[in-house]
């Protein structure tokens, strides 16, 4: 093989080799594999052309350029502290934390330069504005409501940047020492007031219960007296009826019966007691025995 033939063969092979290399370069430049956690912003001649999502994507080599690779994972801003003044003129320090993620990279890269700084500044302004609408007691007791309002305001402010605020947290509400001392005094005074109120209510309740007990006892005594009076009235009516039906003899019989009962009680004694008996008592007892004997 002559030298000219060798040059000709190398020339033909070189062309094929160059063509193969060019094809490989075109394929390499035209195929883009985007990770699941990213989105790629493609520019054509310096202008936004498209946004590549996760997976295999195809672009025009040498015309389209992947200019920005944006992570779509959730991010956390560094914890920040903002000074704010409440509605009742108390200076507080609010520790905040914000989580966000980028949903539309084409808006984020072309509308805002420093995303973290812009969000932090927005959050600081919104926190001061919301704290200024509330008293200190409301800030401490309605923290969940305050967080919700801050998150809604931040979401509305960053919507044009293609960003979603996933969570906003108030980590702590700090007060200066003078305010803390004043609040402690107020808390102690409130505790003392509640203790006095509780003691007074207990005494009042005790008096009410005592009065109810006395009223109940009086009612029961009156009821017992009424029952006793009814019984006596009934007994009297029975005696009156017997006298009416049987004449004076029935009344004398009742008197004689009572006298005999009295004698039985005297006989049941232990014999040590001294009893004064009227002179005509024996005659009365004799009459009673006669009447009882006659009745029997």
pLDDT for position 228? 85
User: Between 181 and 276, where is the model more confident?
Assistant: 181
Burial class (CB in 10 A: 0-12, 13-18, 19+), 119: buried
pLDDT for position 163? 92
Q: What percent of the chain has pLDDT over 70?
A: 75
**Mean pLDDT computed over 124-138:** 88
Look at residue 263 and tell me whether its pLDDT is greater than 70: no
pLDDT for position 41? 94
**Mean pLDDT computed over 211-240:** 84
For residue 140, give both structure tokens. Answer: 């401490």
Q: Could you give the CA distance from residue 118 to residue 101 in angstroms, rounded to a whole number? A: 14
Q: Could you give the CA distance from residue 43 to residue 106 in angstroms, rounded to a whole number? A: 10
User: Between 260 and 282, where is the model more confident?
Assistant: 260
The per-residue pLDDT of the chain, averaged, comes to: 80
| Highest averaged pLDDT of the listed ranges 15-19, 67-71, 228-232 | 67-71
191, 183 contact by CB (below 8 A)? no
Task: Give the pLDDT confidence of 168-214 residue by residue, as tens digits.
Answer: 888 888 887 777 677 677 777 888 888 888 888 888 888 888 888 88
pLDDT for position 19? 75
Q: How many CB atoms lie within 10 A of CB 50?
A: 14
| Range in 162-166, 187-191, 283-287 the model is least confident about | 283-287
User: Between 148 and 182, where is the model more confident?
Assistant: 148
Q: Could you give the CA distance from residue 216 to residue 220 in angstroms, rounded to a whole number? A: 6
Look at residue 3 and tell me whether its pLDDT is greater than 80: no
Q: Could you give the CA distance from residue 146 to residue 131 in angstroms, rounded to a whole number? A: 8
User: Between 82 and 255, where is the model more confident?
Assistant: 82
Task: Give the pLDDT confidence of 86-100 residue by residue, as tens digits.
Answer: 888 888 888 999 999
Task: Give the pLDDT confidence of 32-81 residue by residue, as tens digits.
Answer: 899 999 999 999 988 999 999 999 999 888 888 999 999 999 999 988 88
Tell me the CB-side half-sphere exposure of residue 180, using CA atoms within 13 A.
7
């Amino acid at each position: 093989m002559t030298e000219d033939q060798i040059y000709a063969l190398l020339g033909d092979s070189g062309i094929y080799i160059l063509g193969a290399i060019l094809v490989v370069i075109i394929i390499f430049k035209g195929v883009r594999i985007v990770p699941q956690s990213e989105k790629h912003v493609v520019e054509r001649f310096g202008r936004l052309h498209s946004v590549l999502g996760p997976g295999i994507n195809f672009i025009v080599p040498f015309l389209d350029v992947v200019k920005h690779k944006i992570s779509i994972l959730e991010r956390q801003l560094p914890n920040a502290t903002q000074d704010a003044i409440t509605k009742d003129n108390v200076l507080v320090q609010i520790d905040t934390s914000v989580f966000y993620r980028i949903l539309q990279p084409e808006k984020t890269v072309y509308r805002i330069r420093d995303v973290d700084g812009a969000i932090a500044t927005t959050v600081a302004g919104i926190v001061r504005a919301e704290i200024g609408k509330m008293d200190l007691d409301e800030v401490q007791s309605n923290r969940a409501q305050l967080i919700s309002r801050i998150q809604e305001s931040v979401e509305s402010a960053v919507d044009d940047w293609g960003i979603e605020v996933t969570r906003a947290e108030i980590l702590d509400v700090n007060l200066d020492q003078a305010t803390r001392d004043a609040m402690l005094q107020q808390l102690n005074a409130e505790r003392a007031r509640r203790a006095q109120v509780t003691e007074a209510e207990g005494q009042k309740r005790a008096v009410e219960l005592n009065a109810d007990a006395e009223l109940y006892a009086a009612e029961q005594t009156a009821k017992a007296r009424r029952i006793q009076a009814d019984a006596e009235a009934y007994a009297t009516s029975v005696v009156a009826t017997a006298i009416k039906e049987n004449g004076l003899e029935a009344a004398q019989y009742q008197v004689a019966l009572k006298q005999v009962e009295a004698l039985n009680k005297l006989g049941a004694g232990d014999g040590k007691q001294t009893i004064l008996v009227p002179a005509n008592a024996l005659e009365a007892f004799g009459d009673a025995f006669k009447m009882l004997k006659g009745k029997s």
